[in-house]
Structure 1
Amino acid sequence: MKLFSTALITLTIATIGFTAASADEVTKPVAGTFSGASEHITTGGVQIVKTADGGAVVILDSNFSLDGAPDPRVGFGKDGVYAEAADLGELQNLTGVQVYIVPASVNVDDFNEVYIWCLEFGVPLGVAQIS
C-alpha cells in the first residue's frame, strides 16, 4: 500500500482544523488495506493519523473503492466486531481520498480494524486490519 507523505498528512490535518504546525507534531500513521465483506468489493488503503494535541483523523487513500450499498458508514471495530459507538459518519464517496475526524470520545487505540459498514442491514461492507 502506498502511504501518504508526511507533508500531505500535515496539510490535510491543518486543512480540517487541527493545530498541527509541523511534521514533528504528527505521529507515524497506522495503516491497513480493505478487504470486501458480505459479498461486496471494497479495496484501497486507510490510515489513522494522530496529532500531538490528541486529535486523530482517518484517511481513506486515493485507491479506495466500494462497489455500492445502502447507507455506508465509516467506523472502528475490534476483533471482527463493529463498534457502533465508534461510527465516524456517512461514507462521503464510493471512491477516492476521504478524511474523517475522530471525535474526542473515541480512543483509536481501543480498536484494530476500520470498517465500511452498512447501517441499514447491519453488515460489514469492507474491513481493514490496522497496525
Structure 2
Amino acid sequence: MKNNIISALIAAALSLTILLPTSARAEDHLQSQFSHTIDYITEHGVSVVRSSDGGNLVVIETDFNTRNRSELRLLLGRDGMFMPEADLGPLARVTGLQVFKAPPGLDIQQYTEVHIWNPQHNVIVGVAPLK
C-alpha cells in the first residue's frame, strides 16, 4: 500500500513537472527502450526529462520490467560502459514507474546510455541508448 502511494505521488509530481507552462523542446526529453543482455530480460521504456528547476529526471516507464530479482542500480554511461560517478541509486522494484533525480552537478549531456546494473554479480542487466 505504501509503495502504491509513493508511486502515485511520484507520478503526480512528474506530471506536474512536465506540464509546467514552458513548453518542452525536443532536446529536453529523450526516450529509449531497454534491451537485454543474453542472460537477463529487461524491457520497455525509459525517458530523460528536464525538470522545472533545470535539473534532469530519469524516468523508468510504467511498463518497465526485468526478470532479475537481485539488488539493481540505475546508472548513466557511454560507449557500452556505465560510469560509477553517474550512479542514480537503487531500483525500488523490478516493475513499473520509477523516477530518479540526477545530482545537480551531473552533466547529463555527457552520457549516451541508461544502464541497470546488478552489483552483486557485477553484470549489466539492461541498457537503453539515449537518442
**After TM superposition, is the score higher than 0.5?**
yes
- % of aligned pairs identical? 29
- Corresponding residue number in structure 2 for 1:103: 103
Q: Which amino acid aligns with 2:76?
A: F
* Matched length: 120
- 1:47-126 to structure 2, matched below 5 A, reads 47-51=47-51, 53-126=53-126
Partners of 1:85 and 1:38 in 2: CA distance? 26
Selected match of 1:22 from 20, 23, 45? 20
TM-score, normalised on structure 1? 0.80
Partners of 2:53 and 2:73 in 1: CA distance? 26
Partners of 1:30 and 1:130 within 8 A in 2:
yes
TM-score, normalised on structure 2? 0.80
RMSD of the TM alignment (CA)? 2.4
Partners of 2:69 and 2:94 within 8 A in 1:
no
Determine which structure has the larger helix proportion and give its number.
2
Partners of 2:19 and 2:36 in 1: CA distance? 36
Name segments (4+ residues, structure 1) moved above 2 Å. 25-28, 51-54
